[in-house]
Amino acid sequence: MFSDPGRPQVARTLVGELAEHVGRRVTLMGWLHRQRRLSQVSFLIVRDRSGLGQVVVEDAGQAAQTAGLAPETVLAVSGEVVAAAQAPGGAELHRPQIEVIAAPVEQPPLELWRPTLSAQLPTLLDLAPLALRHPRHRAIFEVAAASVAGFREALDRLGFTEIQTPKIVGSATESGANVFALDYFGRPAYLAQSPQFYKQTMVGVFERVYETGPVFRAEPHDTPRHLSEYVSLDAELGFIADHHDVMAVARDAVAGMVDSIQSRAPGAIAALSLALPNVPAQIPSIEFTEALHLIGEDTGESLQGEPDLAPAHERWLSEWAVREHGSELLFVTGYPIVKRPFYTHPDPLRPELSNSFDLLFRGLELITGGQRLHRYEDYLRALRDRGEGPADYDGYLQAFKFGMPPHGGFALGLERWVARLTGAANIRETTLFPRDLNRLSP
Amino acid sequence: MFSDPGRPQVARTLVGELAEHVGRRVTLMGWLHRQRRLSQVSFLIVRDRSGLGQVVVEDAGQAAQTAGLAPETVLAVSGEVVAAAQAPGGAELHRPQIEVIAAPVEQPPLELWRPTLSAQLPTLLDLAPLALRHPRHRAIFEVAAASVAGFREALDRLGFTEIQTPKIVGSATESGANVFALDYFGRPAYLAQSPQFYKQTMVGVFERVYETGPVFRAEPHDTPRHLSEYVSLDAELGFIADHHDVMAVARDAVAGMVDSIQSRAPGAIAALSLALPNVPAQIPSIEFTEALHLIGEDTGESLQGEPDLAPAHERWLSEWAVREHGSELLFVTGYPIVKRPFYTHPDPLRPELSNSFDLLFRGLELITGGQRLHRYEDYLRALRDRGEGPADYDGYLQAFKFGMPPHGGFALGLERWVARLTGAANIRETTLFPRDLNRLSP
């Protein structure tokens, strides 16, 4: 920074580096996070991307001047670094020269210095540009960033290639319902609900692919779990024996995400008091039918023939996994094929069941995945069974027409993962600028 | 893979690893890329994600059987690895046992074994799921993946945080024109043309942010340079002195992308005979007015007062930079403010010019960026000058209302970068599944 010879030379020091500069004069730049006036001395807390730093104002005249600064004033503060055990980071700035870089035009409506923001969620979302500056709020998105980086790193190590596939698609074929329509140069187009068809297609090219990007669901439900746009971490791999090979990769992806949070976001772990899960080398696994049996035995419910797990059953199973296996993660495999998408591969020995899985984490489905059909004829049959012809699936079916290995994959919703990790009750807390039935801004 | 105890155990070897297994029996899995039948012997070329491998069939009966296999048949081939200097990778498979995993249902309409595919671009795009399997075509997207990874790595090293911002937005404010409209639960919404407003907002939170994701332009132009959806690599940083600090980061990002291609995609460099640019520690830079002057002197054109560079001028400047500075990269700074977006920061000394830049690469604009306004009042004035009120910009303006440091950023179109690198004449060649005025599938 400031390295161009013709421009003013100011070396900026981050507050997190203060302790390395004890005895020297440095310049901090950041936001006025908080001000505390005592009778003899005032403290300015300056916030920058590295954390919070303390500036000591002893001069009464200067203290009177700084008293007029609104929170969130952007400052450059030069001064002498003094070791101080009670200051954040073990050092503070004395004898400051304070320059206002940019002043707020009005008093911020949130008190960012408080340990938590007390406003209601809708208010916090309306004020997101400000609320996200709160150390605990921004920490959530450090966890998100570290998670995505860890997902990519884990899959890179396993020979995956990152892809970028279109979000505007020509037909609403994947599920039909809950799709956003747009005007595409006068003809209809749709926003992709997932990269499913494209990631499968790309197995024919790279064998192992992943994508981290937005997906779109026109969710008519206003719940703490539904968004109309979220970030999906998707992977797909070929030359599998069955869904267990996909589960092994999903396990490594989650382990990579946890490792990455640990190494990249230690400050966020501390700010949020995060308890990260232990990811066992082999995540425990239970078959769907066995799971129903166990739950039924315990609760007295008659669950035989149920096609899916209810939320209460997922919670029961998560508790069971902690009790039986000491694991906060549990695979459930072999879901009935009726509730799975048309491209799902059946269990060869029990065709009413599927080579599919969910990964439960702390009582909620975190990942869904499975083996896909790979033979062209199987797709034609699956579509016929749904009463559909192959025409709308032309591009997708090409991949299977020309030789596709057995393959499968999985998807993980980033915001949901971060919500589970941080204990957020509403997925909007783990989305920078959420979109839902009622919310389109900021 | 295949590690579940209850399932068949087959250790797969990639063709790229064959030479490590000379004298052993291994199993390859991949696509039948090509078959060559000589009088005494047949060769099967098997393609997997690591490259091409050779299988030698000496048995006449077996050769007659394999002759019937269509290209792109998915195979598992077990055999003995024999060192063979003339084979790709220095080893080949002998005495094969060949199992068909999946057979194409029809003869592929492209000959993937040919060094280049001769079909016209529209045909190749229609057949993308197949055409992308061609080693040269897939190599293009290895370069893309490595570029994105390098972009992220370079910015991670500089203290940036990755963000994910909404693609569905409530108003068409950023440029007004060329925006896709969608039906959002009965009210209008739009697809984001860039993460511009959000990345600026997030400077208030993280100081330094980047995003790699899709952007959408309803481009009514059917040209080799325009797409209606592309991948934008965006960065934004706070506490800058002016646009030169942004240029330094843009330089490091491009250098990181080149380094990453070198380390992650050596096979693609070879397949495409890529000549990567040398990225100087300081990329040469010329001011816009000086550039016009030089071009005018050389070509005799009268360019004084021109508000922007024409494509021919960009080409001239790129040639000049190679001649004068030995650099394929050239910054042009200080564009007239009239042609730049409303959030552009003027040059404080010459307010008709702006603190903006373009980075030219091989005759084309690769990056555009600059310093932004950071004071709330400046935004109000800039909007007023455009005849707009602040209401539509409510969420965006919040960030400036509550203290924002001087900041700036840049954007780089991934497909355009890869096109320049690979010499692709049409940006559709560097997009997996392009979207344009006429194309919505596959």
Place of tokens 């799902």: A344
First to last CA, chain A: 31
Question: Among A104, A109, A136, A135, which residue's Cα sits nearest to residue A123?
Answer: A109
Residue B16: pLDDT above 60?
yes
pLDDT for residue B248:
98
Domain range A15-102, its CATH number among 3.90.1150.10, 3.40.50.970, 1.10.10.10, 2.40.50.140: 2.40.50.140
**Which of A359, A377, A355, A351 lies closest to A317 in space, CA to CA?**
A359
Query: What number is the average pLDDT over the span B125-153?
Result: 98
Residues A1 and B245: beta-carbon distance below 8 Å: yes
State both tokens at A419.
């919500």
pLDDT over 80 (residue A292):
yes
Report CB contact under 8 Å: B167, A3.
Answer: no
Give the model confidence (pLDDT) of B34-67 as tens digits.
999 998 999 999 999 999 999 999 999 999 999 9
Q: Which CA distances in Å does B190 have to A177, B68, B169, B180, B218?
A: 20, 52, 5, 6, 11
Using CA atoms in the order B325, B331, B337, B340, what is the torsion angle rounded to 10 degrees? 140
What is the distance between the alpha carbons of residues A326 and A328, in angstroms, rounded to a whole number? Answer: 7
Smallest CA-to-CA distance from B256 within B412, B423, B49 is with B412
Indicate the residue of B3, B183, B441 with minimum beta-carbon distance to A248.
B3
Compute the average pLDDT of residues A204-209: 98
Longest dimension (CA), chain B: 84
Least confident interval from A118-132, A188-202, A216-230, A312-326 = A216-230
pLDDT at residue number B81: 98
A391 confidence band (pLDDT: 50, 70, 90): confident
Mind listing the pLDDT tens digit for each residue in B341-386?
999 999 999 999 999 999 999 999 999 999 999 999 999 999 999 8
Which residues on chain A are in Cβ contact (under 8 Å) with B442?
201, 394-396, 398
Residue A177: pLDDT band (50, 70, 90) is confident
A183 vs chain B: nearest CA distance in angstroms? 6
For residues B95 and B75, give the distance between their C-alpha atoms in angstroms, rounded to a whole number: 15
| Class of CATH domain A129-430 | alpha beta
Q: Is the peptide bond before A220 cis (omega within 30 degrees of 0)?
A: no
What would the mean pLDDT of B79-92 be, rounded to a whole number?
A: 94
Chain B residue nearest residue A374, CA to CA:
B102
State residue B132 phi and psi, 5-degree precision: -65, -15
C-beta atoms of B403 and A162 within 8 A: no
Does B394 contact chain A (CB < 8 Å)? yes
The pLDDT, as a whole number, for residue B2 is: 35
Q: How far apart are the first and last CA of chain B?
A: 31
| pLDDT of A176 | 60
Q: Give the chain B residue whose CA is nearest to the CA of A185.
A: B437
pLDDT (tens digit per residue) in B188-231 = 999 999 999 999 999 999 999 999 999 999 988 889 989 999 99
- The string of DSSP codes covering A220-288 is ---STT--SEEEEEEEEEES-SSHHHHHHHHHHHHHHHHHHHHHH-HHHHHHHT--PPP--SS--EEEH
Decide if pLDDT at B1 tops 80: no
**CB neighbour class for A277 (10 Å; exposed up to 12, middle 13-18, buried from 19):** middle
Is residue A5 predicted with pLDDT exceeding 50? no
pLDDT tens digits, one per residue of B285-333: 999 999 999 999 999 999 989 999 999 999 999 999 999 999 999 999 9
Which of B48, B49, B148, B231 best tests the A interface by mutation, with the highest count of A CBs <10 A?
A: B49
Per-residue pLDDT tens for B227-278? Answer: 999 999 999 999 999 999 999 999 999 999 999 999 999 999 999 999 999 9
B1 CA: distance to closest CA in chain A (Å): 6
ipTM metric:
0.96
Judge: A164–B10 Cβ closer than 8 Å, yes or no: no
Q: Which residues of B touch A105 (CB under 8 A)?
A: 376-377, 401
Cβ under 8 Å to A: B residues 366-385: 374-377
Residue B109: C-alpha distances to residues A197, B71, B72, B101, B150 (Å): 21, 10, 11, 21, 36
Question: With contact defined as beta carbons under 8 Å apart, do A82 and A22 qualify?
Answer: yes
Contacts of B193 in chain A (CB under 8 A): none
Across residues A285-310, what is the average pLDDT?
A: 95
pLDDT tens column, B388-429: 888 889 899 999 999 999 999 999 999 999 999 999 999 999
Residues 95-124 of chain A whose Cβ lies under 8 A from any Cβ of chain B: 101-106, 108
Quote the percentage of chain B above a pLDDT of 70: 97
**CB burial of residue B77 (10 Å; 0-12, 13-18, 19+):** buried
Amino acid A393 reads Y
Residue type, A47: R
- The letter for the amino acid at B290 is E
Per-domain residue ranges of chain B: 15-102, 129-430
Burial annotation A416-432 (CB, 10 A radius, 16+ → b, else e): bbbbbbbebeebbbbbb
